[in-house]
Amino acid sequence: MKNSQDSALRERAARVIPGGMYGHQSTALMPDGFPQFFTKAEGTRITDADGNEYIDYMCAYGPNLFGYNHPDIARAISAQQLKVDAATGPSPLIVDLAEAMVGMVTHADWAMFCKNGGDATMMALMIARAYRGKRKVLVAKKAYHGAMPWNTPRPAGVLPEDRAHLIYFDYNDPQALEDAAKEAGDDLAGIFAAPFRHDTFADQSMPDREYAQAARRIADKYDALLIVDDVRAGFRICRDCSWEAIGVRPDLSAWGKTLGNGQPISALLGNDRARAAASKIFVTGSFWFAAVPMAAALETMRLIRETEYLEHMTMIGESFRQGLASQAADSGFGLRQTGPVTLPMVLFEDDPDFRIGYAFCQAALQRGVYLSPYHNMFMNAAMTCSDIAQTLEATGAAFEDIKRSRASLKPSAALTALADA
Ligand SMILES: *Cc1c(COP(=O)(O)O)cnc(C)c1O
């Protein structure tokens, strides 16, 4: 596998970009040899700066739902580009899109649009506080809601004061939620419930109905707002808010990632209870009203409504999961595959420092399959049975590789450094 262009770009980046790269797309936590830069993305494939092509199981960390550069969405984008994008006022598409989303998401009566998932979760936080002028917000421990001072996962640059009114509880534990609410008392503004547990380096878990119902009941009892952060799971579990599947309706839901199939757009949806508070807060952004991403989102919504994308993606996800499970069993590895099949998390048994998982992903990458050893992955609707067959050929060989080298595997240097930091 060639990597000379990638290395040259990394050297240049190290001079002009702090740390060489930042945020979730830095390869700092990936196994050695993962490319940093990509020059092309089409359908299910990404091509790195050296021309190596991979079947991509990260899907831009979520946004790619229908395949990169999907023809219908690409057409909607080019047509809108000729009309208006960011201008002095929004285009009529903002109303079309708000209607489309309110029409699809059962709990929602209104929509507001922004750029990133973090904008939407920040608006949810503000609306919860504006709702009754209360301060305390309950958040599940380790749940990711974005990278702002109130929720970024690393401590640098963050003050305790930024989080002074957040109370953390254990996900899926109704008693912990109840205790946290009691602690907040009559100052409880909102509950961030997380649609399911999708923390990094950990098994995923689906929400217990009892937990979800407790979240709703507690929010009602304290006259606080219940928020589902569907930024990651949205439209990969159902064609509605992810908690609709378990019959619990939040007051607010945050959306992003898949919404424009890669175009920059996110949304906060809410019900009538939260409408007055949502009209009070001042939130905005230079690009929030741009029409091109809205055209992409409208076309994405149409595909969600009119195609069997979810059933297809579920079928593909199941065959990926089953294929990996039988290869692992054949080669003597224990695998834990958790969460929805459309957002697969694959971790190895007896792998406390992740050295097996890292070596496995490294071996798969060399055979043209881009997987993550620590973050949930993402299926997309463009994936075909032949993509899965090609993937399983690569992973089959990767299992053989790590079986041979098992005794000599070393823990990843990046992870050791992180643990020491
Ligand atoms: C990615 C993510 C966010 C933040 O979205 P950005 O677009 O990166 O700001 C918030 N919540 C969850 C659950 C996410 O996965």
- In order along its 421 residues, the chain shows pLDDT tens digits of 889 999 999 999 999 999 999 999 999 999 999 999 999 999 999 999 999 999 999 999 999 999 999 999 999 999 999 999 999 999 999 999 999 999 999 999 999 999 999 999 999 999 999 999 999 999 999 999 999 999 999 999 999 999 999 999 999 999 999 999 999 999 999 999 888 998 999 999 999 999 999 999 999 999 999 999 999 999 999 999 999 999 999 999 999 999 999 999 999 999 999 999 999 999 999 999 999 999 999 999 999 999 999 999 999 999 999 999 999 999 999 999 999 999 999 999 999 999 999 999 999 999 999 999 999 999 999 999 999 999 999 999 999 999 999 999 998 887 887 776 6
- CA 230 to centroid of ligand 1, rounded, Å: 9
Domain shared by 294 and 366, yes or no: no
The answer on 409 and 322 residing in a single domain is yes
Q: How many residues belong to the chain? A: 421
Which letter does DSSP use for residue 231 in this model? T
Residue 75: name the closest of 286, 209, 261 by CA: 261
Number of domains, the chain: 2
Q: Are residues 250 and 360 in the same domain?
A: no
CA distance 341 to 317: 5
Conformation bin of residue 236: beta by default, left when phi > 0, alpha when psi is -120 to 50: alpha
Q: Are residues 101 and 233 in the same domain?
A: yes
Residue 266 CA: which ligand 1 atom is closest? 7
Print the SS3 string covering 124-180. HHHHHHHHHCCCEEEEECCCCCCCCCCCCCCCCCCCHHHHCCEEEECCCCHHHHHHH
- Ligand 1 proximal residues by C-beta, below 6 Å: 116-118, 121, 144-146, 229, 231-232, 256, 266
Instruction: Please say which residue of 251, 282, 306 terminates a domain.
Output: 306
Q: Is the dihedral of CA 19, 154, 375, 250 positive or negative?
A: negative
Closest C-alpha to ligand 1, atom 8: 117
pTM: 0.96
Cα–ligand 1 centroid distance for 193 (angstroms): 14
Pair of tokens at residue 340 = 């929805």
Residue 36 within a domain: yes
Domain range enclosing 390: 5-61+309-420
Residues 190 and 261 in one domain: yes
Q: Which two tokens stand for residue 275?
A: 């409408």
150 and 257 part of one domain:
yes
Q: Considering the domain boundaries, does residue 66 fall inside one?
A: no
Same domain assignment for residues 157 and 280: yes
| pLDDT value, residue 327 | 98
CATH number, domain at 359? 3.90.1150.10
Please name which of 254, 219, 207, 194 lies closest in space to residue 136, comparing C-alpha atoms.
219
Query: Which residue spans within 205-300 are E strands per DSSP?
Result: 225-229, 252-255, 266-270
Residues 14 and 100 in one domain: no
Residue 159 lies in a domain: yes
359 located within any domain: yes
- Using the mean position of ligand 1's atoms as its centre, give its distance from the Cα of residue 118 in Å: 6
> How far does the centroid of ligand 1 lie from the alpha carbon of residue 256, in Å?
7
Q: Please indicate, yes or no, whether residues 346 and 222 belong to a single structural domain of this protein.
A: no
Q: Does residue 260 sit within a domain?
A: yes
Residue whose CB lies within 8 A of the most ligand 1 atoms, among 228, 257, 288, 377, for a mutation test:
257
- Measured in degrees and rounded to the nearest 5, phi and psi for residue 145 equal -125, 10
Choosing from 22, 59, 119, 145 the residue with most ligand 1 atoms within 8 A of its CB, the one to mutate for a pocket test is 145
What would the two tokens of residue 309 be? 């994308």
Decide: 329 and 368 in contact? Cβ < 8 Å. no
Q: Residue 186 is which amino acid?
A: D
Assigned domain for 121 exists: yes
Whether residue 226 is found in the same domain as residue 175: yes
One domain for residues 244 and 196: yes
Chain Cα centroid distance, residue 167: 23
Q: Judge whether 172 and 197 are in contact, CB under 8 Å.
A: yes
- Answer whether residue 106 is part of any domain: yes
My answer on whether 175 and 223 are in the same domain is yes
Distance 145 CA to ligand 1 centre (A): 5
204, two tokens: 């995923």
Domain final residue pick, 273, 306, 339: 306
270: which strand partners?
110, 252
Question: Where among 290, 306, 322 does a domain terminate?
Answer: 306
Q: Ligand 1 centre from 111 Cα, in Å?
A: 18
Are the CB atoms for 335 and 322 separated by under 8 Å? no
The verdict on residue 198 lying in a domain is: yes
Q: Name every residue whose Cβ is closer than 8 Å to that of residue 156 and which is 6 or more positions away in sequence.
A: none
With residue 338 as reference, give the H or E element that holds it.
strand 335-338
Q: Is the dihedral of CA 312, 315, 317, 320 positive or negative?
A: negative
Cβ–Cβ < 8 Å for 294, 265? yes
Q: Whose CA is nearest to atom 10 of ligand 1?
A: 145
CATH code for the domain in which residue 300 is found: 3.40.640.10
